[in-house]
Amino acid sequence: MAVYFYGCVTLDGYLAAGDHSLDWLYETGSEEETGYREFYSRMDVTLMGRRTFRELERAGDPGAVYPDTENYVFTHGVLSCPGFTAVSGDPAEFVKGLGPDRNIWVVGGNTILAPLLDRDLVDCLIVQTAPVLLGAGVPLFAQGEALRRFRLEEVKKYGQFAELVCVRERT
Amino acid sequence: MAVYFYGCVTLDGYLAAGDHSLDWLYETGSEEETGYREFYSRMDVTLMGRRTFRELERAGDPGAVYPDTENYVFTHGVLSCPGFTAVSGDPAEFVKGLGPDRNIWVVGGNTILAPLLDRDLVDCLIVQTAPVLLGAGVPLFAQGEALRRFRLEEVKKYGQFAELVCVRERT
């Protein structure tokens, strides 16, 4: 089992503006040139929070965005979207229950990522940083205080995004 | 006049741990391979806060670190260090008073950078991101809410640091 975060963030560390809007991202330009397709082809499962799913719904057809993965949405509500399953509880326990040999992509948001970081379950952070400042919003990192060291494996420039591939150091 | 920020930050956006310690940075490895010398040779003035100066003092001889620049420390206290001048008041007004044709490096910390970002006086952000999470500490970015777009000019990998060169878009 390997847990990945892969996603875009502003230079000051925000996933989204205070109103959960992703306008900053849509205006930064296309990601076509990134390694996204290769990344997605390796994933078996996606995990996301309720707000991330809502953004997907707002943008169109969620099933068309993640067609080849099992997709789980952490929500206390009901979901009626083919290909997506509502789950609840602790993301860390959920991930452990998925069994071995699965590549799990934490699409967002920080309420899913934080408990996984806190339990040291994140193996790889692939972050695309855009040269944009928001000054407020939804931060990517919301885990508790603890020094965690990854290894910077690769740095790439894709248009207006700097992609950092950070792999967890296991000691 | 051009104002630069140049410095290291964790992947989750911290300059220093909660106790202002830079242990995370010292343990990440040498910066010898970076473009620091070339950068410093272009600077005329450094600006820093009281805490950044204190860290410099703790590490040794501040004058040996910044020998070729005019160095200003924002503090209400008194300074007795050759090559360093105590100043106070609004960093934005201070910078404007430095006159044209000066390259100004904001060494740190966020109490100096934030008012300069708020007044849109920062021309270039050169950020070296290390693959380290702290979860708490002194954030680099503490400016107010406002969308500010830079241009990502260059991305480099120096050892365990990803350097992003971001230039302010002037419209």
* A12 neighbourhood in chain B, CB within 8 Å: 13, 140-141, 143
Q: Determine the residue among A5, A119, A129 to mutate to test chain B binding: the one whose Cβ has the most chain B Cβ atoms within 10 Å.
A: A129
Q: Are A161 and A35 in contact (CB under 8 A)?
A: no
**CA–CA min distance B155, chain A (Å):** 6
Q: Which of B136, B141, B157 sits opposite A155 (nearest CB)?
A: B157
pLDDT for residue A65 is more than 90: yes
Q: Which of A21, A163, A13, A132 is nearest to B169 (CA)?
A: A132
pLDDT for residue A118 is more than 90: yes
pTM beyond 0.90: yes
- pLDDT tier at A171 (50, 70, 90 boundaries)? low
Chain A stretch 92-151, residues whose beta carbon is closer than 8 A to a beta carbon of chain B: 117, 125, 127, 129-136, 139-141, 143-151
Q: Which of B11, B143, B148 sits opposite A166 (nearest CB)?
A: B11
Which range is least confidently modeled, A54-63, A113-122, B109-118, B142-151?
Answer: A54-63
- Quote helix, strand, coil % in chain B, to nearest 5: 25, 35, 40
Instruction: Please list the pLDDT of chain B residue by residue as tens digits (171 residues).
Output: 899 999 999 999 999 988 878 888 888 876 566 789 999 999 999 999 999 999 899 888 999 999 999 999 999 999 999 999 999 999 999 999 998 899 999 998 899 999 999 999 999 999 999 999 999 999 999 999 999 999 999 999 999 999 999 999 876
- pLDDT tier at A133 (50, 70, 90 boundaries)? very high
Euclidean distance between CA atoms B2 and A50, whole angstroms: 44
Q: Which of B12, B143, B155 sits opposite A135 (nearest CB)?
A: B143
Residue of chain B whose Cα is closest to the Cα of A130: B152
Write down the pLDDT at residue B34: 77
Question: Which whole number is the average pLDDT over A109-125?
Answer: 97
Do the bridges between strand B148-158 and strand A132-133 make them parallel or antiparallel, or are there none, so unpaired? antiparallel
Q: What percent of chain A has pLDDT over 70?
A: 97
- What is the torsional sign of CA A98, A102, A105, A110? positive
**Hey, are the CB atoms on B129 and A129 less than 8 Å from each other?**
yes
